[in-house]
């Protein structure tokens, strides 16, 4: 009998571990799950379904007999190994930025553009974490009122950078409480008790790559180049959970009440919005959760048809691992996995 074999590439990293946990949490029907990583991690173990998986070194031959590979091992690794996986007959869902803007690769958020998986050629790209949570909230509003312009400012957790950044924030806080000058290694400046208005390196027009990703990815996922997006991305001293302040301008008249009602019915969205009771989304409530939380929905009276809102999600969960597994579930549902 044929069986469904799933590989997680980069299984020892924060997102790779969360991918394994998400496969388990959602009872993904894999007959076998393989953990892959670099030679440094080969032979170590990662938890899965009450037991452990022994990590194998990822090589060009690792994907023989594998039906689906979830990659979270960095762009250069994906560029090197994803083509070998495809050649082996495997479908790749890649979490790096390597394939996102490749016109031959769909960039998919299942709540937004599920049908784009239909035209994949072996590789499907998982969008940037900050883009994912934003478009999940934007899509139902765009369908109803047609978005003209998006102004987004992000407040992004250090886990988006990886385990070294999580450790650096924790270490700096401890150092400062003990009167020691904080060591700065991961970020260009101290992150403890600070905000850094730079995520990734600066590029054209002094926008960072993170900001450019949000601008370009939004248009591709939404399938509408006419939506104007401008972004400012900021790293904040939070461990898990990205927050976003989003200002929207629409073609059609919109009210906060109507937007709230539409978002309350939207897939993957949880409206948490009652200012009178001090109810609004925060990173600490989104950590470990699947939903994209939306609150502070209110009219922007400076334009003819505008709204402000606050969007929060777990960047490791929905912003990476969950979205990838949801793509895998979509492939299964559509019969797009060769088993």
Gap between the Cα atoms of 180 and 103, Å rounded: 50
Output the CA torsion sign for 199, 314, 219, 91.
positive
Residue listed under structure tokens 């559509």? 334
> What is the SS3 assignment for 45?
strand
Q: How many helices (H) and strands (E) does the chain have?
A: 8, 14
Long-range CB pairs of 301-305, under 8 A, 24+ apart, other chains included: 303/249, 305/145, 305/249, 305/250, 305/251, 305/252, 305/253, 305/254
189 catalytic? Reply is no
Gap between the Cα atoms of 279 and 249, Å rounded: 25
Q: How far lies 110's CA from each of 99, 177, 195, in Å?
A: 17, 44, 32
Q: Which of 90, 105, 120, 242 is catalytic?
A: 242
H/E segment holding residue 78: helix 75-87
Q: How many CB atoms lie within 10 A of CB 41?
A: 20
Mention every residue, 6+ apart, whose C-beta is less than 8 A from residue 167. none
Q: How far lies 284's CA from each of 48, 82, 164, in Å?
A: 25, 35, 20
Cβ neighbourhood burial of 82 (10 Å; 0-12, 13-18, 19+): buried
129 catalytic? Reply is yes
Q: How many CB atoms lie within 10 A of CB 308?
A: 16
Gap between the Cα atoms of 160 and 137, Å rounded: 20
Q: Which of 105, 129, 142, 195 is catalytic?
A: 129
Tell which residue, 128, 312, 320, has the closest CA to residue 215.
128
User: What are the residue numbers of the active site?
Assistant: 129, 242
């Amino acid at each position: 009998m044929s069986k469904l074999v799933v590989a997680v590439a980069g299984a020892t990293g924060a997102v790779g571990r969360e991918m394994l946990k998400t496969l388990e949490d959602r009872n993904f029907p894999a007959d076998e799950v393989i953990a892959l990583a670099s030679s440094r991690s080969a032979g170590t173990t990662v938890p899965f379904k009450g037991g452990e998986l022994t990590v194998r070194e990822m090589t060009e031959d690792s994907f023989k007999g594998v039906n689906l590979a979830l990659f979270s091992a960095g762009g250069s690794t994906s560029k090197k190994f994803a083509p070998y996986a495809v050649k082996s007959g495997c479908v790749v869902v890649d979490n790096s930025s390597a394939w996102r803007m490749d016109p031959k690769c769909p960039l998919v958020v299942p709540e937004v553009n599920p049908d784009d998986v239909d035209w994949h050629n072996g590789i499907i790209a998982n969008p940037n974490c900050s883009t994912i949570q934003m478009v999940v909230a934007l899509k139902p509003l765009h369908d109803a009122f047609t978005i003209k312009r998006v102004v987004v400012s992000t407040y992004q957790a250090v886990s988006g950078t990886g385990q070294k950044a999580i450790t650096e924030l924790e270490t700096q806080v401890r150092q400062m409480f003990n009167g020691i000058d904080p060591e700065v290694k991961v970020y260009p400046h101290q992150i403890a008790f600070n905000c850094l208005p730079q995520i990734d390196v600066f590029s054209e027009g002094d926008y960072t790559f993170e900001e450019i990703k949000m601008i370009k990815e939004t248009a591709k996922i939404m399938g509408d180049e006419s939506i104007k997006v401008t972004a400012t991305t900021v790293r904040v001293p939070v461990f898990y959970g990205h927050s976003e302040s989003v200002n929207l301008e629409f073609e059609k008249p919109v009210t906060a009440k109507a937007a709230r009602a539409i978002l309350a019915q939207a897939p993957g969205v949880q409206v948490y919005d009652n200012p009178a009771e001090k109810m609004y989304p925060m990173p600490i409530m989104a950590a470990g959760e699947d939903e994209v939380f939306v609150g502070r929905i209110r009219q922007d009276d400076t334009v003819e048809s505008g709204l402000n809102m606050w969007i929060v999600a777990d960047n490791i969960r929905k912003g990476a691992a969950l979205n990838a597994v949801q793509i895998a579930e979509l492939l299964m549902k559509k019969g797009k996995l060769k088993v």
